[in-house]
Amino acid sequence: MNKNKILVTGGCGYIGSHTIIEILEQTNFEVISVDNLMNSSLNTLDRIEKITGKKVKNYVIDLCNIEETEEIFKENNDLVGIIHFAALKSVPDSVFKPLLYYHNNLNSLLNLLQLAEKYAVNNFIFSSSCSVYGNVSKLPVNEQTPLSLAESPYAYTKQIGEVIIKDVVRNNDMKAVALRYFNPVGAHISGLNGENPINKPTNLVPIITQTAIGIMKEMNVYGYDYDTRDGSCIRDYIHVTDIADAHIKAMNYLIKGKNKENYEVYNLGTGNGVTVLEAIKAFEKVSGLRLNYKMAERRPGDVVAIYSDTTLSEQMLDWKTKFSIEDMMSSAWKWQQLLLEEKK
């Protein structure tokens, strides 16, 4: 049997949907999605179809329910790999709801790994995060940078998740890559798909665009006294389509047996640190608007500064980013304007 199907968990979410688009446009893989729609919408599948011309089946299933999750594997015996995005991801939310984050993010992963082993789905890509590094003493961060104490329960679920996967693939035929991405932003270049959280956004760029369009009256810049060039946090912002492309490269890397270890880790970033205030200025430049923002106290769980050394992912996965910070802001703004038009 020719296994040619990829299971994308969280496929109706921000990064998951963009990865499905790139898989359908760049490869011959068939894709199925699972998403419980906790913070996403089935409308995303219509957007994927509009961009790619292809329908994607989604299972509205909670991955924490192993019996329901197993039905996916029973119905799709031609799965060659899993790309696991599905997780709760808000750093501040996790600080106030740690039990929810530990339950959701870890149980879903355990169930997937158990079923992947049972049904011999041997190629696994894990959506990890630069938050696993915590506050670091040396920048840029590379894959050998020691992991510090996690600054939030969300970050700790990613640290634990990596350890779980590493232990599991040591003892079976599975191979796994953990992709530690920095700060995904932007929208599909068409402007037809982007980040559209059902709940109040906690990520910078949707907060910027919602403020610019008037959904939010003003926005806060959390922290004005950090030891950075303008007092605000430094992050490595990376276009969501660049991140999606890396998942395809990583999956092909495993399927073709190019991996040297059963478990490998790669950073996904641009290698450029951008402050929050610089990101705001980049948006103002491409949009021609002035944002209404104010400086506010530091937010619990935030690290001071982090950006990536991308050498290893470029060498091993043959992957390199294509989009600038201006591209990221321009595409996000195009997407936000489309959302406004759709509501009229």
Structure tokens at 93: 């939310």
Q: What is the DSSP letter of 201?
A: P
Q: What residue type is 108 in one-letter code?
A: S
Active site residue 14: no
Under 8 Å between Cβ of 159 and 147: yes
Structure tokens at 108: 């879903």
Structure tokens at 25: 């446009």
At residue 26, what are phi and psi to the nearest 5 degrees?
A: -105, -20
Burial class (CB in 10 A: 0-12, 13-18, 19+), 144: exposed
User: CA–CA separation, 246 vs 253, rounded Å?
Assistant: 10
Catalytic residue among 154, 237, 263, 307: 154
Three-state DSSP class for 299? coil
User: CA–CA separation, 342 vs 48, rounded Å?
Assistant: 16
Dihedral, CA of residue 301, residue 303, residue 309 and residue 312, to nearest 10: -20
Name the E strands within the chain: 5-9, 30-34, 57-59, 79-84, 123-129, 175-181, 183-185, 219-222, 234-235, 237-239, 263-268, 274-275, 293-296
Residue with tokens 């998942």: 247
Catalytic residues: 154
